[in-house]
Each structure stands twice: as structure tokens, then as C-alpha cells.
């Protein structure tokens, strides 16, 4: 009697409750992804229509456009820093400054900058610091006329968030753009990024993000991307697909309903006034870009000021993605820890009517489907192994379900790729399209498991309070054309 009861309640109920929970979770994700395709398509169409009426050349000829400061932190970037700074200096915009913050680099980054741009050291005591940071040692300005809009801040090491805050303190413009010094930014990127600030009347734009692309194996000349190529290695190739899917379908969809909670730290624009009001980036988290965006939204909700966070579908910034498995895992480990920290810091948002849709819808989504997805997937793997050992699995049903999930993933990736190809002319050669599709179809077998491992590693470190910082993100540098 006991054996039969134990078998009945153990195998029957545990198995089917687990199956229904996993299927329900997957169906919910599927519904959200389908909605995301519809919203992203509508948002891209709307953005393109607006760009017809306010083109980049119209912005550059206007006399009342906002001034902009580009803030780029740097730590031990000596290998590529000169080419990267030249790229940032080549941006086309009438009123912009570039502030490069050397965050206590231990290599020859600062000396390379001094030699290349003929920098002269200036007094740093005049800087007011509305946001506390590690101490600033010196300010450097170029003596060359063509680099008068370049400022280099040399400070003691305080981490990426601290370095950006130092740049915000020194800036005196209306808007600030935060980027990584190793990014290649399109020359007309700022012209396009300020467009939402000029268009919007009834709501304040508190954040604007631009598309991020992968430029591994592409060719750079004088800081400008002159030949875009697909990466030759599988890891960065899959990141191209992942970025297309995440930025085009995910962030465009959330932007359409003003639910965007993240602007990538690689390229984002904010009003300097609002950044200072909330105290700048939080140096106590490795997910500082997500945390700042949520804190800005909370601030505006508390002040009862109508606001928007927008995203532009165009790829305006190119970066070098991790090129091997170890670096990729370290990156996703850090992203997972940053997400954990931010979700924990702002847990008061959960179903809090005070914060409107952000509390009732957007934060719960992030908690359940962004933070929770790796956990659910990991538990699914554990259940699959355990149920297989106990002989509870209906293998034909399990195989059919897995194959259906694989096909659904392939469909979404295919839609994202062709939406991107239709909207932009970056990857138009048949060979490139085939390579992207092959990468998307192979992704679940070797790339996605690596992401899951990296995410669970980050969660493991948070559960057991294992101290871990940014980690070393070794880069090979872009291919630089000397011709």
C-alpha cells in the first residue's frame, strides 16, 4: 500500500506538475515573443517615418540643438586606445566634447595619449564634484587645434561606474553619452541620437539607446569602420545573431510601449541634469547600466513627471565581442551578477502601484523572465535527468516537445535576421545571410549552453557571496587599415 501510494503521489503528481509548469512558462514566453515581433515591427516603421521628417542633415543645420559630451572610461586599453579615441573624435556633431577618463591604468595608456594628441597637463582642483568619485589627479587638454574638444581625466582607480561619474562631473553640456573607449561609433550617431529629444514635446526623454553591433574581423581606418565583416569564429558569430534578436525584437518592442528598462552601457544618451539628480552610476554593482536606467525611471515616477526611454533600431555603435568560450562565460557571469544585484536593489518595485506600469508589469517581467529564465532552464535540465533516472519520462513526447521548442527558436531567429536585413544594409550578401542562419540554427547545441553556464555561475557566486569584480575581458583589437 505504501509503495503504491508513494509511487502514485511521487511519480504521477511531481512529473505532471513539473511538465505543466514548464510548458506554461514556455507558452508565456512564446506569447511575449510573438507580441514583441508585432511591437518591434511597428516601432521600426514609426522610427523610419519620423526620420524622413527630421533627417540627420536637418539636425546638424539647426541652431538650437543640445550640446553633448561623450564620456568614455578607459582602463589598461593601451593596445587600441589611440585608434579608439580617433574614432570618437571623428563623430560629426557641431557641439560636442569628448571626455576620456583614465581610471588609474597600469599600462602605458596615458603616455600614448599624451604623445599622440600632444596633451598638456592642467590643474584639476577647479572641478566641482556633485557625484563623489575617487580622486582626480590631473586634467589634460590637447595643444593641437583639431583636438580642442578632447579632454583626458587622469584619476585614481575606482571602477567603470566611478570613472563615468567623474566624466559627468566635468561635463557642462545638456546631454551626456556614455560609451566604452573600445567602441567604434558611427560618425552621424549623435545626430540621430538627439532626434528624439527634439521631437518629443509632452514627455521628457530620460534615456536614449542605440543599436550595438559586433565588429570582430571588420576593418577600421582612422577610427572609422570601412568594411563590415562577419566574425570568422563561432562564438562572436553567434553573438551577432543574439544581438540582432535582442536589440531588434526585444528593445524595440519595449521602447514601443515605453517599457524599456535597460540602455546598454556601450552606447546610451541621458540628460546630465537627471543623472546628477539620482547620484550617477552605482559603483557597487557590475550591472550599472541597468541599475541607472531603473533608478532614473523610479525618480521620474516619484516626481510624477511624464517621461520616455527610447531606443533607436539603427546600429550606431560597433564593439568587439568575446572571441572565445572563457571570455564569453566571464562576461555572462558578470551580467548575471549585475542583474541579480539590480533586481535585489529595486525589489520595492514589485507590484507597487506607486510606480505604475513599471511596478505592475515591467519589473515583474524582468524578475520572472529575465532573471528567472536561466533558473527555470537549469531546473528543467535537473528534472530531465532525475525523471530519466526514475523512468518517468515519456520519451516520444519529450523529444517532440524539444523539437518543437527548437523550431520555435529557429523561427524567431530567422524573423529577427530578415527584419534586420530588410531594415539595414549591413549583411546583404547571400553568403552572409546563410552564415547567420546557420549560426542561429546551431546556437542551441553549443552556444546557448555556454550562456546558461555563465549565468548560473554568476548566480552561484551571489548565493554563496563569492566576491568577483568585472573580470578580465581580453581583447585582440580591431583590424586597422594603414592604406
**Residue from 227, 240, 248 nearest 184 by CA:** 227
Q: Is position 423 within any domain? A: yes
Q: Is position 178 within any domain? A: no
Q: Is position 396 within any domain? A: yes
Rounded Cα–Cα distance for residues 162 and 73 (Å): 9
Judge contact between 92 and 186, C-beta under 8 A.
no
Rounded Cα–Cα distance for residues 95 and 72 (Å): 17
Structural domain of 385:
17-53+183-482
Positions in the chain short of pLDDT 70 = 1-12, 51-63, 126-127, 469-483
Long-range contacts of 20-29 (CB under 8 A, 24+ apart): 22/376, 22/380, 22/383, 23/401, 25/376, 26/405, 28/369, 29/369, 29/373
Q: pLDDT per residue over 407-465, tens digit each?
A: 999 999 999 999 999 888 889 899 999 999 999 999 999 999 999 999 999 999 999 99
Q: How many domains does the chain have?
A: 1
The C-alpha cell that represents 406 in the structure block: 527548437
Judge contact between 358 and 334, C-beta under 8 A.
no
Give, for 5, the enclosing helix (H) or strand (E). helix 2-7
Measured torsion, CA atoms of residues 15, 384, 445, 456, in degrees rounded to the nearest 10: 100
Q: Is position 361 within any domain? A: yes
Rounded Cα–Cα distance for residues 163 and 185 (Å): 20
What is the structure's pLDDT at 8?
A: 47
Measured torsion, CA atoms of residues 401, 402, 405, 411, in degrees rounded to the nearest 10: -120
Question: pTM (2 decimals)?
Answer: 0.92
Q: Is position 72 within any domain? A: no
Judge contact between 422 and 210, C-beta under 8 A.
no
Give the phi and the psi of residue 147 in degrees, each rounded to 5: -120, 25
What is the structure's pLDDT at 56?
A: 60
Q: What SS3 state is found at 124?
A: coil
Residues facing 267 on adjacent strands: 179
Q: Is position 161 within any domain? A: no
Q: Where are the alpha helices (DSSP H) in 11-156?
A: 14-53, 56-61, 81-89, 109-117
Judge contact between 374 and 455, C-beta under 8 A.
yes
Beta-sheet strands, E only, within 215-345: 219-221, 224-227, 267-271, 307-319
Residue 284 burial by Cβ neighbours in a 10 Å radius (0-12, 13-18, 19+): exposed
Strands lying side by side in the sheet with 307-319: 119-122, 136-142, 150-155, 96-103, 68-74, 175-179, 267-271, 204-214, 307-319, 184-185
Rounded Cα–Cα distance for residues 392 and 190 (Å): 58
Rounded Cα–Cα distance for residues 148 and 141 (Å): 7
Block residue for cell numbers 553591433: 213
Judge contact between 440 and 414, C-beta under 8 A.
yes
What is the structure's pLDDT at 469?
A: 65
Q: How many CB atoms lie within 10 A of CB 232?
A: 11
Block residue for cell numbers 526514475: 390
**Residue from 88, 87, 100, 86 nearest 155 by CA:** 100
Q: Is position 76 within any domain? A: no
Q: Is position 115 within any domain? A: no
The C-alpha cell that represents 223 in the structure block: 577610427
Amino acid at each position: 500500500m505504501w509503495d503504491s501510494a508513494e509511487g502514485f503521489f511521487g511519480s504521477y503528481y511531481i512529473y505532471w506538475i513539473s511538465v505543466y509548469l514548464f510548458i506554461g512558462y514556455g507558452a508565456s514566453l512564446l506569447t511575449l515573443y510573438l507580441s514583441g515581433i508585432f511591437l518591434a515591427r511597428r516601432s521600426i516603421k514609426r522610427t523610419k517615418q519620423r526620420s524622413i521628417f527630421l533627417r540627420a542633415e536637418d539636425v546638424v543645420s539647426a541652431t538650437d540643438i543640445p550640446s553633448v559630451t561623450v564620456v568614455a572610461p578607459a582602463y589598461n586599453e593601451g593596445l587600441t586606445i589611440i585608434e579608439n579615441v580617433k574614432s570618437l573624435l571623428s563623430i560629426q556633431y557641431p557641439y560636442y566634447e569628448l571626455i576620456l577618463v583614465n581610471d588609474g591604468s597600469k599600462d602605458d595608456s596615458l603616455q600614448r595619449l599624451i604623445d599622440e594628441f600632444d596633451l598638456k597637463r592642467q590643474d584639476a582642483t577647479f572641478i566641482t564634484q556633485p557625484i563623489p568619485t575617487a580622486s582626480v589627479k590631473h586634467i589634460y587638454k590637447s595643444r593641437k587645434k583639431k583636438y580642442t574638444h578632447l579632454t583626458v581625466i587622469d584619476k585614481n582607480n575606482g571602477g567603470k561606474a566611478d570613472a563615468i561619474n567623474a566624466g559627468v562631473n566635468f561635463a557642462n553640456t545638456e546631454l551626456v553619452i556614455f560609451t566604452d573607449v573600445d567602441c567604434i561609433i558611427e560618425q552621424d550617431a549623435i545626430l540621430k541620437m538627439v532626434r528624439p529629444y527634439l521631437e518629443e514635446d509632452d514627455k521628457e526623454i530620460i534615456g536614449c539607446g542605440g543599436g550595438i553591433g559586433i565588429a570582430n574581423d571588420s576593418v577600421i581606418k582612422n577610427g572609422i569602420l570601412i568594411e563590415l565583416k562577419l566574425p570568422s569564429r563561432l562564438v562572436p558569430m553567434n553573438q551577432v545573431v543574439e544581438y540582432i534578436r535582442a536589440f531588434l525584437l526585444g528593445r524595440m518592442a519595449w521602447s514601443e510601449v515605453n517599457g524599456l528598462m535597460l540602455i546598454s552601457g556601450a552606447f546610451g544618451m541621458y540628460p546630465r541634469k537627471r543623472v546628477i539628480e539620482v547620484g550617477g552610476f552605482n559603483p557597487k554593482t557590475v550591472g550599472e547600466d541597468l541599475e541607472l536606467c531603473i533608478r532614473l525611471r523610479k525618480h521620474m515616477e516619484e516626481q510624477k513627471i511624464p517621461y520616455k526611454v527610447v531606443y533607436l533600431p539603427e546600429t550606431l555603435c560597433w564593439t568587439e565581442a568575446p572571441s572565445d568560450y572563457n571570455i564569453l562565460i566571464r562576461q555572462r557571469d558578470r551580467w548575471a551578477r549585475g542583474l541579480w544585484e539590480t533586481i535585489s536593489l529595486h525589489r520595492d518595485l514589485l507590484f507597487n502601484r506607486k510606480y505604475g506600469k513599471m511596478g505592475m508589469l515591467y519589473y515583474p517581467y524582468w524578475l520572472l523572465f529575465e532573471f528567472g529564465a536561466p533558473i527555470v532552464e537549469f531546473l528543467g535540465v535537473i528534472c530531465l535527468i532525475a525523471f530519466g533516472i526514475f523512468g518517468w519520462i515519456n520519451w516520444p513526447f519529450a523529444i517532440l516537445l524539444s523539437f518543437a521548442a527548437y523550431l520555435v527558436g529557429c523561427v524567431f531567429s530567422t524573423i529577427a535576421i530578415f527584419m534586420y536585413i530588410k531594415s539595414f544594409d549591413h549583411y546583404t550578401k547571400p553568403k552572409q545571410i546563410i552564415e547567420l542562419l546557420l549560426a542561429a540554427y546551431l546556437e542551441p547545441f553549443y552556444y546557448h549552453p555556454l550562456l546558461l553556464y555563465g549565468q548560473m555561475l554568476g548566480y552561484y557566486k551571489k548565493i554563496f557571496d563569492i566576491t568577483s569584480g568585472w573580470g578580465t575581458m581580453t581583447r585582440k583589437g580591431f583590424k586597422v587599415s594603414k592604406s
